Chains A and B, each alone.
Chain A
Amino acid sequence: MAQTISEKILSQHAGKPVKAGDIVIVRVDGVMATDATAPFAIKAFRQMSGKKLWDSGRVSLIIDHASPAPNETVANLHKLMRDFAAEMGCRLYDIGEGICHQLMVENAHVKPGDLFLGADSHTPTYGALNAFGIGVGSTDLAATMLTGKTWLKAPKTIKVTLNGAFRKNVGAKDVALFLIKQLGAEGANYQAVEFTGEAVTSMTLASRMALANMSSEMGAKAGLVDPTGLDLWYPFEPTFPDAGADYARELTFDVSALRPQIAKPYSPENVVSIDELKGTKIHYAFIGSCTNTRLEDLHAAAQVLKGKKLTNTRLIIAPASKKVFNDALKDGTIEILSEAGATFITSGCGPCVGSHLGVPGDGEVVITSTNRNFQGRMGNPKAQVFLSSPAVVAASALAGEIVEPE
């Protein structure tokens, strides 16, 4: 039986051949939950009469969504997580370590071929590693913390082939936004997406992560990137689809003419080319999130802002992790961005989810490198949020209006 990447990984974890549509119980290689989801997972775990984790070495808790604690309620939820981790002997990443998905990849808690459950909707990011990452809610996660297993329906797969080479200032984020527009916000609901083609296999790990991350905005259960060209610091066994595997849809695009893409309020599928938005006034710019604040993203921003001064707007940057921050510190990137006037905040989700650290004012227009612009997403339903690549965010912050980087 010719299999897709999903079918192969799920077969390995079900202990029997699996094809799309099958409902199977699978073993899970690792789980993680954040301060947005871990408290309910802990509550559910206790209600399930959980006394110990199925495998404490495979459980990670991350404090990243409202970090450091903005108020006493959140402080107590963080404390609950620290206490639980100490009691159960599992891993805890405390404030400032970084965003959950970045930490799981950076520290190799998730590896190629794994089936990983995250209590966060952007868990498909691990498809960049050729792993099957699924986002679940707190109760599902609690059940896996207890049993090491979950149940799921093996998804059909949409195969997306991206041919050609990107133009300057166009990359993973732009093509991801373009694809969300083509497929729609529910275009891949209940399905997996496989990304292949030379525009994909030539991508860095960071870019692959941005692409796989945005598959969540197509509704995908998992976004699996072709492992060809995947460069990791440890050896791994890649999982390729079989020739003749059965796909629900096959789409092919040439990226060579693609222009920078921007999603307008209030949906990541509301995407247009930058040309339609040039001149839109911007009040606030943010570079952050599990989509786009890795070293290459900070480099892209620094290239735009080197030797310049931000006078027209405010720019906030939340590096994806402490490691990213330290690497950018050592290579001079932080200095360039800080000299230009950018404000650095704690590595973590920052204003992405609207809990704290940079909520926009009424009527303000925000340009951000994040992945969602739902109404109220950054904490104020009366603000307008536009999504783009870090280079476009930096250039627009400098100009005070939407512009293309030179």
Chain B
Amino acid sequence: MAVGLRHDFERMAQWIPAASQVLDLGCGDGELLRFLREWRGIKISYGVEIDERNVLRCLQNGINVIQSDLDAGLSMFEDQSFDVVILSQTIQAVRHTESIVSEMLRVGREVIVSFPNFGHWSHRLQIALGRMPVSDRLPYDWHNTPNIHLCTMVDFEQFCADRQIKILDCCALNQGKPQKFLPNMFATLAVYRLCKASG
């Protein structure tokens, strides 16, 4: 994970009203929740994290953390009990992608998901040249990567469309700056705001 403030944080913060109750899944050391607390005044928030070193850092950062495996579900959280549920650059490392997204939509009135865009031209080029892509956003080799479910922006939008998930907002970022032109080709990072279509 990149050191310092990540580019998707500010974008996410703009989508989260100050009085929101926020759940951050795969919260790492609590960096995002800390950012939201300090810059957005978010008072009620919890992080879910599996890694014990990160759980310790959350405690040191004064973040409420629940140590749990996302792939085991979110049974400790009630239906529609959070304003926003965030999955920040974690969806690509989750085993049961579909079930975690549906759990997020169960627990949260809105869901924010960010992920490295696999459709970025540099990834396409590397594959065209016969290699698995390695980049700033995906700094792993094929054999040691935790990223088992990578997708492009187009893939993700299709995933949502197939499951009656409404895309409320989308922000494509290229090195931290909005990428309007051919985002699936030039964006390094994608951030989506979602809710249930029927809702």
Q: Do A and B come from one complex?
A: no
Contacts from B to A (Cβ < 8 Å): none
Contacts from A to B (Cβ < 8 Å): none
